[in-house]
Structure 1
Amino acid sequence: MQQFGLIVSHVFLLSLTPWVGGQSRHSYELRVRYSTDWGDWGHADMCPEGFYASGFSIKVERKQGNGDDTALNGVRLYCVNSNNRGGPHTTVESSVGRWGEWTPVKWCSSGYLASFMLRVEPSQGSGDDTSVNNIKFICSGSGAQLEGDGMEWGSWGTWSNKCPKSAICGLKTRVEAPQGDGDDTALNDVEFFCCK
């Protein structure tokens, strides 16, 4: 396993690329570099056109005692229609690890998810690695913070930049495949897309 480095968070300008079954008008990618780099990036999954992420849930494996801990295994976004917040919602998720259970949904009371932060445990050498343990979001408008029901190992990094005049509308996750008799970490990193 490789060591990881800490880098200041950034917002990246992306080309306007059409997405099959999702939004074609995303223009920014939110990243934080307080993460680990084991595993592979999954597919990008986008909210439908006109929908934005107003809630989230995470898949978490609880403490395994003497077993192999993986902590955070997945992130699911709950997308609502900007013209009818009380109407039906849809969910999007990228790659997800095999362990744990989905937590209850946390919702922005107003606005949408606009910035995030990760809680990460660095490489433990010969110890049990868990990588990403939890996630927080800031809601646009109210500025309320929503913290996931993840694990407590590691420390919080820095906030990503906020979606500029937009909101989170999709994601892509980096997940390490099961290692057999090796040390499993599951989710290692996540990127979010912003739509106007």
Structure 2
Amino acid sequence: MGWPVLLLLAGFPSAAAGGQDPGWGSHAASVITVSNGGPWGDWAWPETCPEGSYAAGVSFKVEPPQGAAGDDTALNGVWLLCSPPGAGGTSSAVESQSGRWGRWSEPRWCPHRGHLVGFALRVQAPQHRLLSDEVAATNARFSCSNEHVLEGPGSERGEWGGWSLPCPGRVCGIQTRQEPPGGLRSDDTALNDLRLLCCKK
């Protein structure tokens, strides 16, 4: 397993189709990743918290187990819940792209006005077997600035990978790698991988 990576945006190529401006926003400084993401799908558009705000919580979109004959997709999406600096103001949510299956969990917040600084993914590695059910990302954990961990209600399939490097500042955006629905009798995986964007200090 490789090491997690933190990439400065100035030297980071666009993940958008055709090399277009990925639209990270002026307050994003770097991107953190993990090495165990699934291989299917394409990187969607990134979404960032409103200027001056940061991610202080998360919500998870998870499809429950579909049984022996069903097609499991497990983790389908992640919302970042953005809070403005200080105690006042209202929060907002950003999500990049999410799969079509499952329901959103209740919000989970970093306690004591903490903020997100890193993440880890639980991923089922490609099975490459006849009649196997490929699932890719099955759950996620997010670390808070006060060492609290927010874990999703995802599947127990797959293995946890290592933690990303911590943001030098605060998490302020997200980008997901999604496999689009394949149609009737296809083996769908939905969410495969994600990146978090770090705000400038």
Matches within 5 A, 1:1-196: 6-15=1-10, 23-65=25-67, 66-84=69-87, 86-109=88-111, 110-125=113-128, 126=130, 127-140=132-145, 142-164=146-168, 166-180=169-183, 181-196=185-200
Deviations 1:90-143 (A, max 9, x none): 100111111000011110013200010000000122300110000001101x11
- Runs (4+) of structure 1 exceeding 6 A deviation are 16-20
Q: Give, in angstroms, the shift of residue 19 of structure 1.
A: 7.8
Gaps of 5+ in 1: 1-5
Partners of 1:79 and 1:138 lie apart in 2 by 15
The answer as to whether partners of 2:62 and 2:75 remain within 8 angstroms in 1 is yes
Corresponding residue number in structure 1 for 2:16:
none
One-letter identity of the residue aligned with 1:184: D
One-letter identity of the residue aligned with 2:194: V
Q: Give, in angstroms, the shift of residue 23 of structure 1.
A: 4.2
Partners of 1:151 and 1:82 lie apart in 2 by 34
One-letter identity of the residue aligned with 2:138: N
Aligned length in residues: 187
Partners of 1:182 and 1:23 lie apart in 2 by 36
Partners of 1:99 and 1:124 lie apart in 2 by 21
Q: Give, in angstroms, the shift of residue 178 of structure 1.
A: 0.8
The answer as to whether partners of 2:22 and 2:45 remain within 8 angstroms in 1 is no
Q: Give, in angstroms, the shift of residue 7 of structure 1.
A: 2.3
One-letter identity of the residue aligned with 1:14: L
Gaps of 5+ in 2: 13-20
Structure 2 length-normalised TM: 0.88
Structure 1 length-normalised TM: 0.90
The answer as to whether partners of 2:62 and 2:101 remain within 8 angstroms in 1 is yes
Partners of 2:82 and 2:158 lie apart in 1 by 29
Deviations 1:132-187 (A, max 9, x none): 000001101x11111111111001000000001x1100010000011122210000
Partners of 1:53 and 1:15 lie apart in 2 by 22
Partners of 2:50 and 2:164 lie apart in 1 by 24
